[in-house]
Chain A
Amino acid sequence: MLFNEPSPLEVKVLTRRFQYPDSARIDTFLAHQGYQAFQKALAMTPDDIIQEVKVSALRGRGGAGFPAGLKWGFVPRNSPKPKYVVVNADEGEPGTCKDRVLMVNDPHQLLEGMLIAARAVGATVGYIYIRGEYRHVIDIMDRAIAEAYARGYLGRNILGSGMDFDAYTHTGAGSYECGEESALLESLEGKRGNPRIRPPFPAVSGAFQCPTVLNNVETFCSVPEIILNGGAAFAALGTPKNGGTRLFALSGHINKPGVYELPMGFNLLRLIHEVGGGIPNGKRLKAVIPGGSSCPVLKAGECDLPMDFDSLAAAGSMLGSAAVIVMDEDTCMVTAALRLMRFYAHESCGWCVPCREGTHWLKKLVGRLHAGRGLSGDADLIEEVSRNMLGRTFCPLGDAAAMPMISLVTKFREEFEAKIGSAADAGPGSDQLVVL
């Protein structure tokens, strides 16, 4: 099982069942409050469920941080169309590996969250869109779904309530863009992962052009706790407007990398040093990408802050998917930038001009600079090209490339400048990245 040594500082809510043997099996789940929240929800009105989620201050765990209760409330109750629950399990944001942990260790928790969402909006079918690389996760989810059918938690007239709900896994096939919700829906329908024009938003016209609740795995997994112990208690775990706990994926230069569940608003420096055991080899912290590769980088001196959506926004970055990528003093920021720009250029769907051309241009610019063949003015140009993408692309992927790029080239300008024209002395080992 996918598991790291827990930290004593963790507040285990979503991960509380991970400690049990066979935590992915329904018997384990049922023995530890499994499906009790759903049963409670069956006795609640849809409005009460949505209200409880609103009170919980649960915000989307995929990255955008949109209040989940509000999103559910947008689903038109009286629409004659069928309604769907779609789980975004496309987890592709570099640095992020928490949804995999949630699904592998406690798949039924996700199903329970879906059931409660379905109950709240009147959905009868749910799809779990799982990235193609996660075949083992799909197998685990499929087994959980089969168990749930066998025990009457899925199917017709669930637990005699009259509620029908079917759940299916759906595999992706390699596309970061499909983590964007409207591109995910296109992909779910068997098409290229190009994003859709919004409005209409998925709540009104989502899967198969029907009203759809679409949330991240972790968001759905938070729901049973909210229903079981109340939205207020969940909200109280975090900071104002940032309810609950968060699964932080620590990676990079860190002694104890892993996925840790901590309250929203946990201090980033404490996360690195106390939970993560600090930087290996006694190195000093240089920078942190606090929420997955799309978030602006924080310099070491900017890291003494609470990890919640609003605090990070105030610091000019984002909580994103809460993937904390730690970089020590030896990290070449140009190399990091190049790898990220290669990623975004590779993953741009190509639909809109600024993202398609901008990511490609940035990759070329940073690549040239990285190879020591940059021209004077390249650092400025990198920043300007990024700013020309920012806020102007069809979907957030353009911003996702531009934002970290702008932060890297502005906060570590001297490293970029130093690389310009350095080809002659760029000896072997000065960079370890093969530029493609």
Chain B
Amino acid sequence: MAELINLTIDGVSVQAAPGTLVINAARSVGIEIPAFCYYEGLSLQAACRMCLVEVERMPKLQTACTLTVSEGMVVTTDSPAVVTARKSMLEFLLTNHPLDCPVCDKGGECELQDAVYRYGAGEGRFTHIKHHVDEKQFSPVVYYDAPRCILCYRCVRICDEGLGVAALGLVNRGVTVEIAPNRGSRLECDECGMCIDICPVGALTSGTYRYQTRPWEMRHVGTVCAHCGDGCKTTLGVRNGAITRANNRDRSGINGEFLCVKGRFAFDFVDHPERLQTPLLRTADGFEPVSWARALGHIAERFLEIKARNGRIGVVGSNLTTNEEDFFLQKFAREGLGAVGVDHIRTGDLPALVAALGTRSGAWASSADLYNCRAAVIVASDLSQQHPFLAFQLRANWRHHGMRCYTVTPGPVREDSYAVTALRAAPGDELAALESLREKLKAEPELVILAGASVRADALTRLVAFGDSLGIPVRYVCLLDYANSRGAADMGLLPDRLPGYRPAEGPGLALPDMLADPALDALWVMGADPLASSHLAAESAFVVVQDLFLTPTAARADVVLASASAYEKAGTVTSVCGEVQKLARGASVAGAKSDLEIMSLLAARMGLALGPSDNASLLEEICRSVPGYENVQAVLQGGVTPVVCPVWSGPQPDSRPDLIRSSEDTLFTSGVLGRYSRVLNSLSEAPGRLYR
């Protein structure tokens, strides 16, 4: 560690590492230097001139966002010269600004508004006709209002530097400069909306949020995105129980400023018109909406009857439900029903990787590790499409730390553009391709391997053997599709494994085996759609489905229970990288109940004693009984995001590559939820586009 530099800012002694920018050194002692163009993590611009400060022995004011600290430096951030300069910059910024704050979406949370309120003049002296151009719609979700734009270039940089998309640029010159999209008058991009969030003013606005409400009319609910498994925090803006927007402007959560199109826009499945809002009971004439009491009574009766005759009940869990729900479901299934099988749709072979790594707790990479590791190999995944936050982390790591990236994928991927080596390998051939990288990888100080679903079963064992043979520290990420795919496995929604991968007694039926079992008496599906692509062999089986929509599986059910989505409930979920995070209830949909509540009511009706079924008690039980989750509750209470490392015990699993199937979602698909998101369906970019 290099020695710290001593300097003085506004009379306060400050120590900062060499290379620290004055703006950050000031921030470290609580002195805020206003800035628009400066944005931590992005390249420096020195364009807005808001951060001008006085520095002893320098004749001109200096931009604190580009000036690095030096020994003995004396900085003043509130001298008359600085105050005048700031005030004049704001006056300049407002000359051609429309001052349409009353109708601007950003009003109330606008950085320009705040800065003018704090540092600006009370009156304007620009009494000329303002330079005006009309607002433009760049895409279904991105609008650009050039007159409001203060040209801080944050949007251009986040798109280019942050995402590697570079869909925004600058056109024209002087006062006519504006931001332009990459396809003439429209955008072709990830539609992530990062440009909207990062915009300090109301220049870039959201097609779904604009003119809907005022920021102070909403309740801001921080929760976890309901879509992919990367675990991004998203802050829901909720008004009257309805979600009006989602963003992460405060850069909180594991994802910092990152959110993709799904996290930002695809919350609209919640109020899709086809959303189930009442239980449905199959009658001779089709489904009949019934009361919860009648639906649950019917299920309890049938389950008890089947259980009484030692009938065969199969239980299928979800990739979307909470850890608490998953834990309770497997308990219900195993202890309450004596189910012949408990499983979920497996989108990656996490158990096989856990088995291969055994008890090595240091062998799992967190999403923070992706930002700090020295080298990474992306195997069998189009990461920027399927795990956009993980891709963002790796890219930021490359930008900031020069991380060395390798890709081994079936086709070209965005990460190729900065990869040291980019190899093409068909599914199943990945290990042979990796072998050709052996010498290069051996030379790395450490490595993170991210493996997609086509590396499964024995291939994962061989992957770990390959990692071990490199002689360097290697950590792994098993890429899984959905918001709590990881939790489903960790919580024992597996036929042969209890929560925490402890061996289950006797081999249960895996999902395809349940579906193929002609003697199956009942199938209970919580938040999954296995019959979308499979046939249920037991034609007379009693089928219960909990879901948001009438999926193909629900359509086959005898009873359908309207369940609540992740945005409508509490609980915890575990990301693909093992971060355990809390959900918070944002929306409420009349008639729908959380899966936990449904199970709890059903257990009561059946007279089962399964223990307490509230989130807090269940999390406590999880921490008590699930290896790897011991500290989760304590860490969460401390306000920190716990990272769990799974632990394998007992015999190796059977090799069942047939159980693994990723749905190969893109940025614009998201399984069942995606099918019911009007916004996602309105965006037509081809998956995997590199936008060149």
| Chain A proximity mask over B127-140: 1 for CB below 8 Å, otherwise 0 | 11001000000000
Which residues in B have their C-beta under 8 angstroms from that of A352?
Answer: 46-49
| Chain A proximity mask over B34-65: 1 for CB below 8 Å, otherwise 0 | 00000000001111111010000000110000
CA A296 – CA B244 in complex, angstroms? Answer: 56
Decide: A350 near B176, CB < 8 A? Known: A381-B125, A392-B49.
yes
Contact among B61, B84, B177 with A350 in the assembled complex (CB-CB below 8 Å): B177
Which residues in B have their C-beta under 8 angstroms from that of A350?
Answer: 151, 170, 172-177
| Chain A proximity mask over B163-198: 1 for CB below 8 Å, otherwise 0 | 000000010111111000000000000000000000
Contact B175 A356 (CB under 8 A): yes
Contact A348 B173 (CB under 8 A): yes
Which residues in A have their C-beta under 8 angstroms from that of B95?
Answer: 357, 360-361
Least Cβ–Cβ distance between A278 and chain B, in angstroms: 38
Least Cβ–Cβ distance between A358 and chain B, in angstroms: 6
Contact among B93, B96, B127 with A360 in the assembled complex (CB-CB below 8 Å): B96
Contact among A348, A354, A365 with B174 in the assembled complex (CB-CB below 8 Å): A348
Contact B174 A388 (CB under 8 A): no
Which residues in A have their C-beta under 8 angstroms from that of B85?
Answer: 388, 392
Interface flag for B15 (CB, 8 Å): no
CA A357 – CA B150 in complex, angstroms? Answer: 10
Chain B residue at minimal CB-CB distance from A381: B125
Interface flag for A54 (CB, 8 Å): no
CA A352 – CA B49 in complex, angstroms? Answer: 7
Least Cβ–Cβ distance between A209 and chain B, in angstroms: 14
Interface flag for B211 (CB, 8 Å): no
CA A368 – CA B127 in complex, angstroms? Answer: 10
CA A175 – CA B176 in complex, angstroms? Answer: 15
Interface flag for B91 (CB, 8 Å): yes
Contact A357 B96 (CB under 8 A): yes
With an 8 Å Cβ cutoff, the count of chain A residues facing the other chain is: 29
Contact B91 A349 (CB under 8 A): no
Contact B93 A357 (CB under 8 A): yes
Which residues in B have their C-beta under 8 angstroms from that of A346?
Answer: 173-174
Which residues in A have their C-beta under 8 angstroms from that of B93?
Answer: 353, 357
Contact B92 A388 (CB under 8 A): yes
Chain A residue at minimal CB-CB distance from B175: A360
Interface flag for A186 (CB, 8 Å): no
Contact among B92, B131, B174 with A353 in the assembled complex (CB-CB below 8 Å): B92
Contact B92 A357 (CB under 8 A): yes
Chain A residue at minimal CB-CB distance from B171: A192
CA A105 – CA B197 in complex, angstroms? Answer: 57
Interface flag for A394 (CB, 8 Å): yes
With an 8 Å Cβ cutoff, the count of chain B residues facing the other chain is: 34
Interface flag for B89 (CB, 8 Å): yes
Interface flag for B216 (CB, 8 Å): no
Which residues in B have their C-beta under 8 angstroms from that of A368?
Answer: 128
Least Cβ–Cβ distance between A236 and chain B, in angstroms: 32
Contact B49 A356 (CB under 8 A): no
Which residues in B have their C-beta under 8 angstroms from that of A357?
Answer: 92-93, 95-96, 175
> Among residues 97 to 145 in chain B, which have CB atoms less than 8 Å away from a CB atom of chain A?
125-128, 131
Interface flag for B641 (CB, 8 Å): no
Chain A residue at minimal CB-CB distance from B93: A353
Contact A354 B92 (CB under 8 A): yes
Interface flag for A345 (CB, 8 Å): yes
Which residues in A have their C-beta under 8 angstroms from that of B66?
Answer: 197
CA A364 – CA B61 in complex, angstroms? Answer: 27
Contact B88 A356 (CB under 8 A): no
Chain B residue at minimal CB-CB distance from A177: B173
Which residues in A have their C-beta under 8 angstroms from that of B151?
Answer: 350-351, 353, 356
Least Cβ–Cβ distance between B244 and chain A, in angstroms: 32
Chain B residue at minimal CB-CB distance from A390: B60
Which residues in B have their C-beta under 8 angstroms from that of A310?
Answer: none
CA A394 – CA B66 in complex, angstroms? Answer: 11
Which residues in B have their C-beta under 8 angstroms from that of A348?
Answer: 173-175
Interface flag for A393 (CB, 8 Å): yes
Contact B128 A353 (CB under 8 A): no
Interface flag for A375 (CB, 8 Å): yes
Chain B residue at minimal CB-CB distance from A348: B174
Contact A356 B174 (CB under 8 A): yes
CA A391 – CA B175 in complex, angstroms? Answer: 20
Interface flag for A347 (CB, 8 Å): yes
Interface flag for A222 (CB, 8 Å): no
CA A197 – CA B44 in complex, angstroms? Answer: 8
CA A375 – CA B126 in complex, angstroms? Answer: 12
Interface flag for A359 (CB, 8 Å): yes
Q: 24 A–B contact pairs at CB < 8 A?
A: A192-B170, A197-B66, A346-B173, A347-B173, A347-B174, A348-B173, A348-B174, A351-B47, A351-B151, A352-B47, A353-B50, A353-B150, A353-B151, A354-B49, A356-B151, A356-B175, A357-B93, A359-B174, A361-B95, A365-B128, A388-B88, A391-B60, A392-B52, A392-B61
Known contacts A350-B176, A356-B175, A360-B174; 20 additional CB pairs below 8 A are: A197-B44, A347-B174, A350-B151, A350-B175, A351-B47, A352-B46, A352-B48, A353-B48, A353-B50, A353-B93, A356-B92, A357-B92, A358-B92, A360-B96, A361-B126, A361-B128, A364-B126, A392-B49, A392-B61, A394-B46
Interface residues of A (CB under 8 A from B): 175, 192, 197, 345-354, 356-361, 364-365, 368, 375, 381, 388, 391-394
